[in-house]
Structure 1
Amino acid sequence: MQPDPKTKPLETLDRRKGWRVWWQLTRPHTLTASFVPVTVGTVLAAEYTRIHFGLFFAMLIACLLIQTATNMFNEYFDFKRGLDNEHSVGIGGAIVREGVEPKTVYRLALILVGVSLLLGAYICMKSSWWIAVIGSLSIAVGYLYTGGPYPIAYTPLGELFSGFFMGVVIILISVFIQTGEIQTAQTLVSVPVAILIGAINLANNIRDMDGDKKSGRKTLAILLGRKRAIGLLAAMFAVSYLWLFLLIATEGMTPWILLALLSLPTAYKAVRNFIGKTAPKEMLPAMKATAKTNTQFGMLMAIGIILSYLW
């Protein structure tokens, strides 16, 4: 079979662009949806046990690999369905703009999944084999997000699936592999992180509304319309911050978790940069600010939880 003339051999790509193409292919701004939940979950577990750092790093790397593989599946299937072209806006585009062969992207995603499964086996041996069931389900959701006959990304459920599996599930697994149990308070702490991860997905869908409409997608942003979708994004930020006060009032969390409020200016910037914008390129700063909000909120909350153990 002759190679696609629109793609270039791996050797040519390496000489021309080097590591930058592969780094962009991971869609780095989305990786906050992996390392923040693992960090928060591990910090929550530290109240009850001494942290097993082997499990922590295995969980962290496995989640980053699965997230990266999901992004690569997204790149591959969007290309195969004709949704991406050289004019598409975004930090992906390794296939349509950089000339990476589609099969290379797909196979690399499978390799990353394979490595994550090996790490998962280690985690299961040190904790519980039930983790294998939940982890396999999470990997399947990552694949089916843009793969399969009915991609989740084409429905209004993308924000719900991404928030639940990458926020709630990752945090609770991170707690469980360290402590062997899950507390109600830990589940409640996972909620604002899950909401902010869903917000990253919503921000992406707001940017891509016009192209998604043409491709027949029915994302939440499309169903709501641009103005209401931006309003929903603002509401998601608001609920996440108000949730901190709920945790203090009902679960005995200390006021140290209010350090997460320092991320409010970034959340405000994300909403403000969406208002009045219609061109995808104009909305890139808003998308980046949304991802930064999740990073800042999650890490500041984690620091607050650590400080609550000390004072």
Structure 2
Amino acid sequence: MIKEKIKIWLRAIRFFSFTGSVIPVTLGAILAVKQSKFQFTYFILSIFAIVLLHAAVNLISDHDDYEKKVDTRNSYGSSGVILENLLTSKQVNIGGIICLILGSLIGLFLSYEKGLFILVLGLIGAFGGYSYTAKPLMLKYKGLGAPLVFLLFGPLMVVGSYYVQMQHVSVEAFFVSIPVGLLTTAILHANDIRDIIHDKKAGIKTLSINIGKSNAKKIYYGMIILAYVSIIVMILCGILPYLSLLCLITLPIAYKNSKILYNSKLSISGLITLDKSTGKLQAQFGILLIFSILLGFLL
């Protein structure tokens, strides 16, 4: 019974999606290895904080999407635990609030230890994540979900994680956050493209709805291409080691995902799992980037 409950809650928090937050936080912390100031304890605390906040966003958005009739039995976006009566909408929302509070408490401890800048970033992250679907801002429903995700899962996490380690802001960390932020945003964007029809029926306005499916596809391709181009530019500028060319190993996956999206005008079946496929691309790309930076420092 307990094991089943755990499985349901792991499904509800969408455990598979946590690479979207763990990778940028790890990336920011690893950049501190170059200065021999990597602090493992604070890194682990940062990971716990960000995973709890990420879980909170997933749970609260599930609740809000269900209450606003964005998620139905014919849509694909949610964890499905509410629709399948595995958990009530209220339980999911309370779970989200608890995760938000716990993550914020760890964030407060980190800000006490590491300074006001972490408090500011933490407040932006917590409020931004909560406001993704929750009132009063409900940013996802106004077409602002994609830029919010890029900000939170790109520069904010990488720069913040680096600051926890080093206690100063790094321009290098900001630039390194760009490709990871783009690929994480592409996950959400793939989701929004797939859900255009259902979201229109629910009366919300995502970026994909606002600009149309054709332009939304171009933005997806653009985010994927820019992620790889930015790696090459940073290598040429000396920001990243040449070993970061390892990220190009994932190009076939990126091409496959883009081809699925391109062919979606003929069939929607591929789009059903495009967000998860893009998530796998982000995870593999991010792991290779972290590995290449770490190896570059050690060699």
TM-score normalized by structure 2? Answer: 0.93
Task: Tell me, yes or no, if structure 1 residue 294 matches structure 2 residue 296.
Answer: no
Q: CA deviation at 1:15?
A: 7.2
Q: How does 1:41-190 map to 2 (within 5 A)?
A: 41-190=28-177
Q: Distance in 2 between matches of 1:187 and 1:280?
A: 36
Q: CA deviation at 1:137?
A: 1.8
Instruction: Tell me which stretches of 4 or more aligned residues in structure 1 moved more than 6 Å.
Output: none
Q: 1:266 to 1:60 in 2, by over 3 A?
A: same
Q: Distance in 2 between matches of 1:116 and 1:281?
A: 37
Q: CA deviation at 1:107?
A: 0.9
- Aligned partner of 1:6 in structure 2 is none
Q: Distance in 2 between matches of 1:253 and 1:144?
A: 34
One-letter amino acid of the counterpart of residue 203, structure 2: G
Q: Distance in 1 between matches of 2:136 and 2:108?
A: 29
253, 258, 263: which one pairs with 2:245? Answer: 258
Q: 1:252 to 1:190 in 2, by over 3 A?
A: closer
Q: 1:46 to 1:62 in 2, by over 3 A?
A: same
Task: Tell me, yes or no, if structure 1 residue 239 matches structure 2 residue 226.
Answer: yes
Q: CA deviation at 1:16?
A: 9.8
| C-alpha contact (below 8 Å) 2:71/2:77 kept by paired residues | no
**In the comparison of the two structures, how many residue pairs are matched?**
298
CA distances 1:45-72 after superposition (whole Å, capped 9, x unpaired): 1111331111101101111110110011
| C-alpha contact (below 8 Å) 2:53/2:104 kept by paired residues | no
Q: Distance in 2 between matches of 1:38 and 1:152?
A: 23
* Higher-helix-fraction structure: 2
Residue segments in structure 2 that go unaligned for 5+ positions in a row: none
Q: Distance in 2 between matches of 1:205 and 1:79?
A: 16
Q: Distance in 2 between matches of 1:249 and 1:108?
A: 46
Residue segments in structure 1 that go unaligned for 5+ positions in a row: 1-13
Q: Distance in 1 between matches of 2:245 and 2:94?
A: 43
- Aligned partner of 1:304 in structure 2 is 292
Q: CA deviation at 1:109?
A: 0.9
Q: CA deviation at 1:274?
A: 2.1
Report SS of the residue matched to 2:99.
helix
Report SS of the residue matched to 1:82.
coil
One-letter amino acid of the counterpart of residue 263, structure 2: G
Q: Distance in 2 between matches of 1:280 and 1:37?
A: 31
CA distances 1:102-152 after superposition (whole Å, capped 9, x unpaired): 111111111111211221122123211331222122111111111114411
Q: Distance in 2 between matches of 1:27 and 1:86?
A: 18
TM-score normalized by structure 1? Answer: 0.90
| C-alpha contact (below 8 Å) 2:55/2:96 kept by paired residues | yes
| C-alpha contact (below 8 Å) 2:118/2:163 kept by paired residues | no
Q: Distance in 1 between matches of 2:263 and 2:208?
A: 15
Deviates most, 118-127 or 253-262 = 118-127
Q: 1:150 to 1:128 in 2, by over 3 A?
A: closer
Report SS of the residue matched to 1:277.
helix
| Residue identity (%) | 28
Q: 1:52 to 1:15 in 2, by over 3 A?
A: closer
One-letter amino acid of the counterpart of residue 304, structure 1: S
Q: CA deviation at 1:182?
A: 2.1
| C-alpha contact (below 8 Å) 1:244/1:258 kept by paired residues | yes
One-letter amino acid of the counterpart of residue 293, structure 1: L
| C-alpha contact (below 8 Å) 2:73/2:83 kept by paired residues | yes
